[in-house]
Amino acid sequence: MQKINKELLIIGAGPAGLGAAIYAYRAGINFSITDKYVAGGQIITTDEIDNYPGFYDNISGFDLMQNVVSHVKKFGVEIIEFCEISDIKINKSTKRIFICSSENYQFRVKSIIFATGASPKRLGVEGEDGLIGKGISFCATCDGALYKDKEVVVIGGGNAAIEEALFLTKFASKVYLIHRREELRASKAIQEKGFASSKMNFILNTEIIKFNGKDRVEEIILKDKKTGDIKNLKVDGVFEYVGINPNSRLLSGLVDFDEYGAILTDKNLQTSVAGIFAAGDVRNTPLKQVITATADGAIAATSAEKYLANL
């Protein structure tokens, strides 16, 4: 077990963690950054990045994040990869020291930036795994523009599902919204906007039982929950909005969460515990994108700098 003493540990080397690393370096903070896999975050498997300023001409998630990783490494920062932090404890006597452990490392630090991201919930039905990124997406803001004049399906019945379906009507010729219940969960105002759109088609009381497609998703098999009827629907793209799980479990019992398990922060991105900051998709952010995650990292590192200076 390697023991490391630092001022700050950044947990997660996605856009938020790497953004934090750049600002932490600039602030002269003595820090470490770890990721449980390779650096780059959830975006590295995406073929095309949208909405990141300055990159409007087909850059893949992998290439964009390689640039960011190079930026961090250029400063001589070592990103400790394949290092999953599995335990965080507050030193009981001082309350100012955090002990963060992985299989091979123990970090003794004065502050933490928690940037572990979030994972979209999946339906878990047949054919889904192999078609993720091949027509099945979890981000209309990111991939919606690829479906100009095509027919797409949105799965879910909450605010996010309907808002994103409405966003997709800007591009797609037809948007089916499929929900497993009779009633949508979204607020009445958002539902009304959805019902008012001539491009939206609601299929309620229906569950998806299978995705079909060779290289891309081609059709979905649906089951009417009332009648038991099975039918197929040809589609060009599928967007799943059946919930999101912030990767926040490690801080359970330590900091405050909202009802969805996202970490609550103040405007400086400090959590309910002094010295623990949260950045990116893991916190209760109103927009989950690369630009907001990297900006969160910058704010969290700047706040950590002030916190450390005042200790």
In the bound state with ligand FAD, the residue whose beta carbon lies nearer, of 147 and 184, is: 147
Of 69, 85, 172, 301, the residue at the interface with ligand FAD (CB under 6 A) is 85
Task: Report yes or no: 153 and 176 within 8 Å, Cβ to Cβ.
Answer: yes
Of 47, 291, 306, 311, the residue at the interface with ligand FAD (CB under 6 A) is 291
The answer to whether residue 290 forms part of the interface with ligand FAD (CB under 6 A) is: yes
The answer to whether residue 117 forms part of the interface with ligand FAD (CB under 6 A) is: yes
DSSP-assigned letters across all residues of 86-142: -EEEE-TTTSS-EEEE-SSEEEEEEEEEE---EEE-----BTHHHHBTTTEES-HHH
Spell out, one character per residue from 183 to 222, where the chain touches ligand FAD: x when CB under 6 A holds, - when not: ----------------------------------------
Other beta carbons within 10 Å of 81: 14
Alpha helices in the chain (DSSP H): 15-26, 61-74, 128-131, 140-143, 159-168, 188-196, 290-309
Of 116, 265, 271, 302, the residue at the interface with ligand FAD (CB under 6 A) is 116
From residue 149, alpha-carbon distances to 51, 96, 235 in Å are 20, 56, 12
Q: Pick the piece of the chain touching ligand FAD (CB under 6 A) from 114-122, 169-177, 191-199, 235-243.
A: 114-122
Of 8, 288, 299, 305, the residue at the interface with ligand FAD (CB under 6 A) is 288
Task: Report yes or no: 221 and 212 within 8 Å, Cβ to Cβ.
Answer: yes
To the nearest 10°, the Cα dihedral for 49, 55, 61, 63?
160
DSSP, collapsed to helix, strand or coil, labels residue 177 as strand
Of 32, 46, 265, 302, the residue at the interface with ligand FAD (CB under 6 A) is 46
For the annotated catalytic residues, the residue numbers are 139, 142-143
| Residues of span 14-33 touching ligand FAD by CB under 6 A | 14-17
Which residues of the shown chain bind ligand FAD in the complex (CB under 6 A)?
Answer: 11-17, 34-37, 41-43, 46, 49-52, 84-85, 115-117, 137-139, 142, 247, 250, 280-281, 288-291, 293
